[in-house]
Chains A and B, each alone.
Chain A
Amino acid sequence: MIRKVRRFPLSGEVAVHEGDLVKPDTLLGYESAEEKLHLIKLDVSDQKLVSVVVRQQGDTVKKGETIALNTYAMGLGLTEYCTPVDGTIVSIDTMTGLVQIREHPAPLKALLPGRVVSVSSSESIVIETRGAYVEGAYGGGVPCGGMLAIVAKSPGALTNPAEMTSRLEGKIAVIGAECKHEHLMAALRVRASGVIAGGGDLEALRSFQEFVGNLTGEEYEARFGAARDFRNVWEEDEYTPGLSVILTEGFGNIAIRAGVFDLLRSREGCYAFLDIPGKYSEYGEPPQIIIPRPEGAGDSSLEPGAPGLEQGAYCGIESGSRVRLVGGTRLGKTGAVRKAGAAVLTLVTGQSVPAVEILFDDGSVATVPRSNIEAIRQS
């Protein structure tokens, strides 16, 4: 059984109750908009507005939209005042030049099918579901959901960004060993919901997240030539530029481990939820890929990836344990422990460390530092 908490950033109006069954697109509530008031200061002179206001009180505006203009130097210079958020113009004070814009309340969707087990008044909702889950190593973006689409031909393959076509719109693309800047831009262009890869480039991920954070709908349209008209009245299902990423193994070029890739491939076309804790998460909370059990599926015994005490870094390492290398020269390789125990390895750097002997999946054998391996949960 998997439990996930869905939170409002500040507070909100909860639209569900304990015991309710929810689907991924079920609205859990709306974020409270009472306090989300933004101010823009226009130019005034002698308590008179100098700028030309092109929108009126009560109008609905989009992020980046121009609401006022001011020309100077006999028309040679132009200042544009743009809205910082999607919202409604509450008031325009012609004496002080202050424009108040109330941000539209953002909806909070479940993104996960299941049952509501608890509601913390106006703050968070806990949803319980059954299915498989995979722990990732790194996650960027916000929680999202979508159908799984396997793009990579094998766990270690490098996907050609040109193969990421519009069939991935709204889906979570599994792209193989490494996620680079080109893959992220390709996924953004085709409006994929998320990307799963074995490894990636940290700098590329960081700069991409910053880029997407500042991207407005208009800018997105200008860059990628989307067909939709962004000047329409705000619609609930309108596309907001964004992309979530989970790296399952770490950074660099690392193949998705075989068990995980097989699980994802077997569930291609099924709904998946990427739970990305984000920068405000509890320390130690990893990103997770949750694949809820399809409706109508019967009960089964322990499913792949179910959380338990014996997992990851804390799992006891003994002979036969499946492990993967998380550091050192063999980063990303997987194998089984041949000899655990109190062996000590002296590295070329002169440091002596506890070590284990591993029989890798490619048939080679090596003694590696104990700190550089992590147990893989048995599926």
Chain B
Amino acid sequence: MARRFLYIECGSVKTKALLVDAGDRVSLLAKGEALTTAGYGLDDVSYGAQQAVRQLEETYGRPLLLGASPLRIHPDSGLEGIFVTSSVAGATLAAVAGVFRDISAESAQRAVLLGGACVSDVFAINDDRLPHEKRVALRQRPIDMLILAGGVDDFSSLDRAAGRQAVTVARLLCSGLPRSRVVETERPTVVYAGSVLVRDEIRELFSGVAPLEITENVRPKLENENLEPARTAVRDLFRSLLAKSPRYRSLGHAVDPAGYATARAIEEASRRLDENILYVDVGGAFTSVYSVIGGVANRTVTDLWGLVSNGTRARINSGRLLRWLPFPAREADVSTAIGTRMIRPQTVPETWDELAVRLAIVREEARLGLQEHMGLAVLLRGVQRRRQIHEIFGYETVGGQTIVNLSRCHNIILGGGWLEGRTPNQVMLVATEALETAGTNRIYADSSGILPLCGELLQVSEITPGTVLDSLELLGTCVSPLEPKSQGGFRLTSSLGSALLESRGKRQTCRLQAGRIQRFPLGAGETAVLHLVPIRGIDFGEGPGKRVRAEVKGGPAGVVLDMRPRPLSLPSAEARRRARLAEWWKDMDACPAPVVAGWERGENS
């Protein structure tokens, strides 16, 4: 029997209130929305939450809560419980410190991100900063916790040195701890997740300086990671900090990190389905990417707008964005659009040109987010291995290679406020270009933002296999060739092979035209068998030139055969580039034909 819950998500731009039934799948009954009231002189999210719930009650027609904050269930509401999560920009900020940037610091960073916090800076002995520069960087950025890692738990003499260096790093940063953002008279909590050998020294160092929590080593051996204890410690700290924060206190309800809940939902779904999942959320302030590849979960938060992180970061470049516009545009106008998006992410595009620019920005955000994610979701570094006989004349370093391979990620979920008002075809177009899909990928959209709720529901009910993905909207299946191993794999004037779709006894065939997008209509809930016969050198996931037989699921966008080259490239001549882009918009049916015709003529709309 379905159980009814109220879910409130405090996002960076909007606060959503969702009324859901949780049974075999999570069904959205009604939704309310308001701007998040955090910052700009009004620093209490309960105002925004109340407005969102009020809107929801108007739609639903029944009262859900008793009066104003704190949150209390109305006896006539039929609700079983309330969940609240927060992903407000910088909700919980953590600084990470380790001995080596690519080993202990990186593992600690992964634990913090999976725990739902954001990382403002990473310190290590080898991070190219002088000691006082590290202290200044730590002091200048208000943080809520400092995660300290380093050293292994192996008692062999060679590995003890790293543990001593963890104490060195701790001593260096100890005097640079800023005041806590929540309780001004205190320092942020320090979570020590390093070598057990130096725990006593760490306790002594921070005694009387800052609250200290000790948890299991994130890197007990170089060969493996143990992130769960540190991750849970971060999540628990998040909860306790928000309970004290004036911004959240009047809600009177436990607030969980949205990042932690989302990661849990995706991990559970991946475990049950035994498939890899990639989730890209282009939010108002950050781009968050989650992946579960081969059972290994990762999360990254890309701060493209410089809101929380220190140091150099990727930036959205107006020059690069101009290349993705199918109509003539001035760089100054594109730069203005980027700036407006940065300071006012809640605005909506009113014309097709504005929409194309906004989607180009989203595309860049997703691309840069995935790039950063692939840099963190890597094979463990620092793992010792024996040289093999075939490596006599050369040594291949293992570790540091990304584990994210789009051709092995058969489930891709897109999320974020940008999905509102977008057609499935527009979303598919952005997804395929930003992520450069490869092989066979099912594309889902989480327009309502229920993934964190699925993670929260794990606490109260069993989620049956596939429930998480069943609760999302499947837009369709995308089939794309993999990047060729050698040049010359794509000849844009020729066909790349043929495709046959069998569904309910009906057959549809087409020749795979290089550089174009083709679609087979296949409705929501329908399944079909797709046969691909590529030409020599073209790989759809089974090997170059090998036939592929895949079961595909339908959706509003159908089965998309994206035969554009990988990596995606555009002609350098402006007229040909715009014509190519307009062609892709037309192929995907992402906007009306007269608009595309106008773009092809070089007109704005």
Contact surface of A with B, Cβ cutoff 8 Å: 9-11, 35-39, 120, 123, 135, 137-138, 199, 201-203, 206, 250-252, 279-280, 282-286, 307-309, 311-314, 326-329, 331, 347-353, 368-369, 371-372, 374
Contacts and interface: CB of A to CB of B under 8 A. Distances in A.
Contacts of B332: 201, 252
Interface in B324-355: 331-333, 335-336, 338-340, 342-344, 346-352, 354-355
B40 A327 contact: no
Contacts of B342: 202
The CB with the most chain A CB atoms within 10 A, among B43, B90, B135, B335, is that of B335
Given A120-B179, A120-B184, A202-B342, A284 B350 contact: no
Interface string B214-250: 0000000000000000000000000000000000000
A329 B40 CA distance: 25
Contact of A326 (B37, B130, B184, B344): B344
Nearest to A251: B339
B358 to A, nearest CB: 10
Nearest to A34: B132
Given A123-B179, A202-B338, A203-B318, A314 B39 contact: no
Contacts of A120: 179, 184
Given A328-B347, A347-B350, A348-B605, 10 more contacts: A201-B332, A206-B315, A250-B343, A279-B310, A280-B142, A284-B89, A309-B42, A347-B349, A351-B420, A372-B347
B403 interface: no
Contact of B140 (A9, A314, A326): A9
A282 B142 contact: yes
A276 B135 CA distance: 22
Task: Rank and list the top 4 A-B pairs by shortest CB-CB distance, nearest first.
Answer: A284-B39, A327-B347, A351-B421, A251-B339
B179 A350 contact: no
Interface of B: 12, 35, 37-43, 47, 88-90, 130-132, 135-136, 139-142, 176, 178-179, 181, 184, 285, 306-308, 310, 315, 318, 331-333, 335-336, 338-340, 342-344, 346-352, 354-355, 420-423, 591, 605
Nearest to A33: B132
6 contacts: A10-B176, A138-B343, A327-B348, A329-B350, A349-B421, A372-B348
A282 B339 contact: no
Nearest to B420: A351
B42 A9 contact: no
A349 B355 contact: yes
Nearest to B313: A279
A280 B308 CA distance: 7
A246 to B, nearest CB: 12
A286 B40 contact: yes
A282 B144 CA distance: 12
Contacts of A279: 306, 310
A35 B136 CA distance: 10
Contacts of A348: 350-352, 605
A251 B336 contact: yes
B89 A283 contact: yes
B346 A371 contact: yes
The CB with the most chain B CB atoms within 10 A, among A135, A329, A348, A372, is that of A348
B191 to A, nearest CB: 22
Contacts of A285: 39-40
Contacts of B336: 199, 201-202, 250-252, 331
A280 B140 CA distance: 7
A311 to B, nearest CB: 6
The CB with the most chain A CB atoms within 10 A, among B181, B350, B354, B591, is that of B350
B220 to A, nearest CB: 34
Contacts of A350: 421, 423
B309 to A, nearest CB: 9
Contacts of A282: 39, 90, 142, 181
Contacts of A135: 40
A351 B348 contact: yes
Contact of A280 (B135, B141, B340, B605): B141
